[in-house]
C-alpha cells in the first residue's frame, strides 16, 4: 500500500535584534520553528512571508536578505511531508512588541548562543542561521537521502 505524501514550500523569517532572534512554538510543545508558513499556489515567496508573519507576529518586514534553504521530511497524521523552507532575515523593528497574534502560538526572543541547545525544527535551521549570522553567506541543507 502506497504511503500518502505531499510536498510543501514554506517561507520563513529570522528576525534579528542584535544577538537575539525570534522563534515560534505551539502552545504546549517544547520545540521551536521560525515564523512564516506555507506558500499558496500562485503566491510569491515574499507575499507569503509577509502574510504569514503579519498573521503570526504582527511585525512588518521592512527589508530582508536571503539566508538559505532547508529541505527535510517528516510525518504528520500519517502523511509523509517533504518540506522546503526558504529562509530570509530581517531586522527586528525598533520597539517591536514581541508576541503572537495567533492563539495557538508563542513567540519568544532567543539568544543565538542557545540555538544548538533548543529543539529547533527542522534541525538544520540552527546551522543555516548561525552560518549566515557569521558571514552573511546563504546555505542549503538537506536531510533527504541521496539517490
What total of structural domains would you count in the chain? 1
pLDDT of residue 87: 97
Whether 91 maps to a domain, the answer reads yes
Torsion angle of the four alpha carbons 133, 139, 143, 144, in this order, in degrees rounded to the nearest 10: 160
CA distances for 68 relative to 5, 28, 63, 98, 137, angstroms: 24, 29, 16, 24, 8
Is residue 113 one of the residues assigned to a domain? yes
Q: What is the CATH number of the domain that holds 85?
A: 3.90.79.10
CA distance linking residue 111 with residue 68, whole number of Å? 20
pLDDT in tens, 13-61: 999 998 999 999 999 999 999 999 999 999 999 999 999 998 898 888 8
Whole-model pTM: value is: 0.89
The predicted pLDDT at position 146 comes to 55
Residue 1 has pLDDT above 60, yes or no: no
DSSP code at position 33: B
Domain annotation covers residue 26: yes
Please write the tens of the pLDDT for every residue from 56-113: 988 888 889 999 999 999 898 999 999 999 999 999 887 777 878 888 999 999 999 9
> Could you tell me if residue 147 is inside a domain?
no
> CA angle, 62 as apex, 59 and 66 as ends, to 5°?
100
Q: Per the domain annotation, does 12 fall within a domain?
A: yes
Is the pLDDT score of 11 beyond 90?
yes
Closest CA to 110 of 55, 6, 32: 32
Give the DSSP letter string of 3-16.
PPEEEEEEEEEEEE
Helical spans, DSSP H, in 4-143: 45-57, 124-135
Residue 39 is part of which domain span? Answer: 5-142
Tell me the Ramachandran region of residue 30: left when phi exceeds 0, alpha when psi lies from -120 to 50, beta otherwise: alpha
Amino acid at each position: 500500500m502506497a504511503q500518502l505524501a505531499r510536498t510543501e514550500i514554506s517561507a520563513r523569517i529570522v528576525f534579528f535584534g542584535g544577538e537575539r532572534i525570534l522563534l515560534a512554538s505551539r502552545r504546549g510543545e517544547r520545540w521551536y520553528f521560525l515564523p512564516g508558513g506555507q506558500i499558496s499556489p500562485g503566491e510569491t515567496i515574499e507575499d507569503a512571508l509577509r502574510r504569514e508573519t503579519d498573521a503570526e507576529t504582527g511585525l512588518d518586514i521592512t527589508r530582508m536578505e536571503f539566508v538559505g534553504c532547508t529541505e527535510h521530511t517528516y510525518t504528520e497524521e500519517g502523511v509523509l511531508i517533504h518540506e522546503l523552507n526558504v529562509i530570509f532575515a530581517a531586522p527586528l523593528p525598533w520597539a517591536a512588541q514581541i508576541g503572537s497574534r495567533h492563539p495557538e502560538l508563542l513567540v519568544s526572543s532567543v539568544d543565538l548562543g542557545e540555538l544548538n541547545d533548543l529543539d529547533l525544527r527542522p534541525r538544520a535551521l540552527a546551522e543555516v542561521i548561525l552560518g549566515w549570522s557569521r558571514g552573511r553567506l546563504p546555505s542549503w541543507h538537506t536531510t533527504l537521502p541521496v539517490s
